[in-house]
Amino acid sequence: MAAGESMTGGAAVSRWIGSANAGYARYAQQELVARFGEVGFQELIPGELFLASIRRSEADVARLLRGNEPVFLRHIHPVQTEFPASRGEEDLLRLQQWLESAGPAISPGDRVGVQARRKPETEYGYTPYAVKEALDRVLTERFAAEPVISGPDKVVSVYMGESSVYAGVSAASDNLSDWNGGMIRFKREDGFISRAKFKLLEAEVRFGLDWSAYSRAVDLGAAPGGWTSLLLERGLRVTAIDPGELDPSLTGHPNLTYHRRKAGEVKMERAAYDLLVSDMSWDPRQSAKLVAEIAPAIRPGGTALMTLKLLRGKPFQSMREVEGILAPALRIVKAKQLFHNRDELTLLLTRPSDS
């Protein structure tokens, strides 16, 4: 039995801290119940962060979530120790002592990230960075591991709550995201057009998109050009369609064709594109209908990536309706509410080869 697991009625019970976008924790919890049956929940940050007790081993939970990743559960990590928070140096000492005893989980040479966060507006006598410094010393001196900030093999996760400190060690792949709490951050670079670009950058990472597999893309609802700009940076030829105006910085780009009109007014050849992207602020059913109508412009086996604005209180119903509208023209490969999505989610789709 792994550290942090207990036995209830002969079955292992593991504990996890789950994260979702603000206001969507209950949907992430519903996803866990659908997969594991009875799950106990304790709220840590209303609508966003929770502690889950699952009647499965850590290994089983991680394996099942990796194989069928939830839509609204953005990040999860195991809780293998919990103790009352002193909010002072004693907490750091207890965390060091716990990590020193977690020997089998960490091996020499492992790349290990320490990810610490605390409940907003909760005062501690130390910072999350102080937690990292204290635990990095244990990683190097006790385990001969390599502390890293990005691309870890394993993660030491620490959450400083209102009255307790929670911690666990896991493979980075078991957390659904190797970013702290799944909160992936990007810098605003020179020439930044809109925050919409962050959504496509995150999708690139989370979906493992290989832009070299595409040469021609069409961007529906492109204005002001956040997604178009990234696709051009990645070397694609882009057809941008929107009655609104693109950012002047894109004017004259040699790989850009711009139609300042509605998508339905633009004639597109069949199988002309490898990739279709859409980030329109429409009702999800309207967005799905438009994308389904234009789907023949994608080559068989090609890809579509679109965001859906969610109707509050009915996200799963919206997803079912959209899936029905898109089929059989497009098949959903993955649906995920990304950190930068807010009240929406991102769909990765493919056009079936026999269509």
Does residue 226 contact residue 195 with C-beta atoms inside 8 Å? yes
pLDDT over threshold 80, residue 192 = no
Pairing type for strands 273-278 and 216-220 reads parallel
pLDDT digits (tens, 9 = 90+) for 55-98: 999 999 999 999 999 999 999 999 999 999 999 999 999 999 99
**Per-residue tokens: 168:** 């666990």
CB neighbour burial string for 277-299, b if at least 16 within 10 angstroms, e if fewer: bbbbeeebeebbebbbebbbbbb
Query: 281: pLDDT confidence band, cut at 50, 70 and 90?
Result: confident
Structure tokens at 212: 């070299």
Residues 275 and 328 occupy one common structural domain: yes
Whether residues 255 and 311 share a domain: the answer is yes
Find the range with the poorest average confidence among 120-134, 182-196, 216-230.
182-196
Where does a domain end: 153, 182, 211?
182
Beta-strand (E) ranges in 55-119? Answer: 75-78, 81-84, 111-118
**How many domains does the structure of the chain reveal?**
2
pLDDT of 5: 57
Establish whether 309 is a catalytic residue: yes
> So what's the pLDDT on residue 104?
82
Supply 324's token pair.
């029905």
Distances in Å between the Cα of 94 and the Cα atoms of 118, 167, 327 are: 17, 11, 54
Quote the domain boundaries for residue 219: 196-350
CATH code, domain with 119: 3.30.2130.30
12 and 160 together in one domain: yes
pLDDT at residue 248, as a whole number: 93
Residue type at 176?
Answer: L
Calculate the alpha carbon distances from 65 to 28, 69, 170, 263, 308 in Å.
12, 5, 14, 38, 23
Q: Do 337 and 252 have their domain in common?
A: yes
Q: Is residue 355 part of a domain?
A: no
Say what the pLDDT of residue 7 is. Answer: 55
Of 199, 309, 334, 336, the active-site residue reads 309
Q: How confident is the model at residue 258 (pLDDT cuts 50, 70, 90)?
A: very high
Asked whether residue 21 falls in the same domain as residue 121, the answer is yes
190 or 54, which is more confident? 54
Q: Do 52 and 173 lie in a common domain?
A: yes
Residues 133 and 92 grouped into a single domain: yes
Q: Is the pLDDT of residue 355 over 70?
A: no
**pLDDT at position 2 over 80:** no
How far is CA 174 from each of CA 15, 59, 201, 333, rounded to the nearest angstrom? Answer: 14, 9, 22, 20
Q: Which residues pair with 334 in a beta bridge?
A: 348
Is 242 found in the same domain as 146? no
pLDDT tens column, 299-352:
999 999 999 998 777 899 989 999 999 999 999 999 999 999 989 999 999 999
pLDDT of amino acid 3:
58
Q: Is residue 205 domain-shared with residue 233, that is, in the same domain?
A: yes
Amino acid 102: pLDDT: 85
